[in-house]
């Protein structure tokens, strides 16, 4: 069956079956059978409360940290799984890679871990903290809530060379689909998780080639709406500047991102490719035209799948519970 047809079938299933509220979704969520929704109920009952409180404190002072936490999670899970190797900080680690230099949120995760060590010493992994903090940030931004299962372990190694596995803003849909399928995710997850761009910003350096040096024939990517291209050029005079990924409702977690794509107002190349490719275009159209609740529900389901990608559990015997999120307990520094 061709992927375009698969997209249409998935679309019908989602539209017919999606629940009417965020609270009516638990049965939809795929959970790793080695993780548990009740993992910390007895050993660290205030785990999620501590995470939520810290995220609220930090994002109140700096609202941009909410989208930054989501991005940090995506970059972690997109390399070797949700392990969280991206937090390890030493020469040659993912965190020291040039491709990771714009990642943020490390200090917030460290603060949560420090507080957790006071309440529940040596019990809570940094992997579980990052998963919980990302959900908390999404929810506090007005996004959906999803049940998180816990019991992850932390990796002991991190390699800068692995960062190239993370999907970039210039990949084509075929490349993105191959990457997502290697994670056990599908075309629906690709379109839905791209919808995280309903919030947050991009550095102008990532889109300057679209605006000024697209190819030998066009200086500007012809798929961009001309007025929107003018707007981006005004906002992006320097590579270090930033632009909202959703310029219409940049701080609202809604389906406006997909509406923008229908108008050729995608900021990243990969954004606009979603509406051009027949495998993903039907899903973009559906999320643009149907109530935002449809997107919110499916985003929660896809996030629950993402945070279970490549997790390390106690049975693997290859992980640990780090004492400090930026350092492995077993590695000399």
Does some domain include residue 6? no
pLDDT at residue 33 is higher than 80: no
**pLDDT greater than 60 at residue 169:** no
Percent of the chain whose pLDDT exceeds 70: 87
Q: Are 128 and 85 members of one domain?
A: yes
From the list 14, 58, 71, 75, the catalytic residue is 75
Does the annotation place 246 within a ligand binding site? yes
Q: Is 76 annotated as a binding residue?
A: yes
Scan for tokens 């501590």, then name that residue. Answer: 50
Residues 204-233 have a mean pLDDT of 90
The string of DSSP letters for 177-192 reads HHHHHHTT--HHHHHH
| 286-333 per-position pLDDT tens digit | 999 999 999 999 999 999 999 999 999 988 878 999 999 999 997 754
Domain shared by 254 and 311, yes or no:
no
pTM: 0.89
Report CA 263 to chain centroid distance, whole Å: 24
- Look at residue 31 and tell me whether its pLDDT is greater than 60: no
Q: Please report whether residue 13 resides in a domain.
A: no
Domain total for the chain?
2
- When computed from its CA atoms, the radius of gyration of the chain, rounded to whole angstroms, is 20
Which of 15-24, 172-181, 260-269 is predicted with the least confidence, judged by mean pLDDT?
15-24
- Using 50, 70 and 90 to split pLDDT, how confident is the model at 172? confident
Q: What is the pLDDT of residue 246?
A: 97
- pLDDT of 278 reads 96
Ranked by mean pLDDT, which of 8-12, 19-23, 192-196 comes out on top? Answer: 192-196
- Band of the pLDDT at 216, cuts 50, 70, 90? low
326 among annotated binding-site residues: no
1 inside domain: no
Residue 258 and residue 312 share a domain:
no
Q: Is residue 67 part of a domain?
A: yes
Torsion of CA 162, 77, 136, 107, to 10 degrees: -20
Q: Write down the pLDDT at residue 219.
A: 83
Range scoring the smallest mean pLDDT among 4-8, 47-51, 136-140, 313-317:
4-8
Whether residues 254 and 205 share a domain: the answer is yes
pLDDT at residue 270 is higher than 50 = yes
Q: Which two tokens stand for residue 193?
A: 């998780």
Residues 184 and 155 in one domain: no
Query: Cβ-count burial of 111 within 10 angstroms (0-12 exposed, 13-18 middle, 19+ buried)?
Result: middle
> What per-residue confidence (pLDDT) applies to 20?
40
Give which of 59, 306, 66, 105 is closest to 194, Cα–Cα: 306
Rounded-to-integer distance, Cα 23 and Cα 29, Å: 12
Residue 198 has pLDDT above 70, yes or no: yes
Share of the chain above pLDDT 90, in %: 77
**Which structural domain range is residue 115 located in?**
26-166+307-316
92 marked as binding residue: no
99 pLDDT more than 70: yes
Assess if residue 4 is contained within a domain. no
Segment 31-45 mean pLDDT: 87
Residues 119 and 194 in one domain: no
- For residue 85, say whether it is annotated as part of any ligand binding site: yes
5 has binding-site annotation: no
Average pLDDT for residues 145-154, to the nearest whole number? Answer: 95
- pLDDT above 50 for 74: yes
What is the residue-averaged pLDDT of the chain? 89
The whole-number pLDDT of residue 262 equals 97
CA 115 from centre of chain: 25
Same domain, 46 and 84: yes
Q: Which element (helix H / strand E) includes 235?
A: helix 226-235
One domain for residues 211 and 151: no
> Would you place residue 22 in the very low, low, confident or very high pLDDT band (cuts 50, 70, 90)?
very low
218 is catalytic: no
255 in the same domain as 129: no
Q: Is residue 331 part of a domain?
A: no
266, part of any domain: yes
Q: How confident is the model at residue 15 (pLDDT cuts 50, 70, 90)?
A: very low
pLDDT at 60 over 70: yes
- Which pLDDT tens digit goes with each residue over 86-97? 999 999 999 999
- Determine if residue 94 is labeled as part of a ligand binding site: yes
Q: CA 241, 102, 70, 270 torsion: positive or negative?
A: positive
The pLDDT value recorded for residue 213 is 83
Q: Is the pLDDT of residue 181 over 90?
A: yes
5 lies in some domain:
no
Residues 161 and 30 in one domain: yes
- Establish whether 198 is an annotated binding residue: yes
CATH number at residue 134: 1.10.520.10
Return the axis-axis angle of helices 65-80 and 47-61, rounded to nearest 10°: 120
Residue 273 has pLDDT above 70, yes or no: yes
Q: What's the half-sphere exposure (Cβ side, CA atoms, 13 Å) at 135?
A: 23
Same domain? 150 vs 238 = no
User: 224 with 294, same domain?
Assistant: yes
**Residue 179, domain CATH:** 1.10.420.10
pLDDT on residue 217: 77
């Amino acid at each position: 069956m061709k992927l375009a047809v698969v997209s249409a079938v998935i679309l019908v299933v989602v539209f017919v079956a999606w629940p009417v509220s965020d609270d009516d979704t638990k049965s939809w969520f795929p959970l790793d059978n080695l993780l548990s929704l009740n993992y910390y109920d007895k050993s660290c009952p205030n785990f999620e409360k501590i995470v939520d409180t810290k995220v609220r404190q930090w994002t109140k002072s700096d609202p941009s940290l909410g989208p930054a936490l989501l991005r940090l999670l995506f970059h972690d899970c997109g390399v070797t799984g949700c392990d969280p190797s991206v937090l390890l900080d030493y020469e040659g680690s993912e965190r020291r890679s040039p491709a990771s230099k714009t990642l943020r949120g490390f200090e917030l995760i460290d603060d949560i871990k420090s507080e957790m060590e006071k309440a529940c010493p040596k019990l809570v992994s940094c992997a579980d903290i990052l998963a919980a903090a990302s959900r908390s940030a999404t929810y506090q931004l007005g996004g959906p809530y999803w049940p998180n299962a816990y019991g992850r372990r932390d990796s002991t190694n991190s390699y800068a060379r692995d960062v190239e596995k993370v999907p970039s803003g210039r990949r084509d849909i075929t490349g993105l689909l191959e990457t997502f399928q290697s994670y056990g995710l599908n075309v629906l997850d690709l379109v839905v998780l791209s919808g995280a761009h309903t919030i947050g910003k991009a550095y102008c350096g990532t889109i300057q080639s679209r605006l000024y040096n697209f190819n030998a024939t066009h200086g500007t990517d012809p798929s961009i709406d001309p007025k929107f291209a003018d707007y981006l050029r005004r906002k992006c005079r320097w590579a270090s500047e930033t632009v909202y990924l959703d310029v219409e409702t940049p701080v609202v977690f809604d389906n406006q991102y997909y509406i923008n794509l229908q108008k050729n107002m995608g900021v990243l190349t990969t954004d606009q490719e979603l509406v051009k490719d027949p495998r993903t275009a039907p899903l973009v159209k559906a999320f643009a035209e149907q109530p935002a609740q449809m997107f919110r529900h499916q985003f929660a389901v896809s996030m629950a799948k993402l945070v279970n990608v490549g997790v390390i559990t106690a049975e693997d015997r290859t992980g640990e519970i780090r004492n400090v999120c930026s350092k492995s307990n077993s590695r000399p520094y």
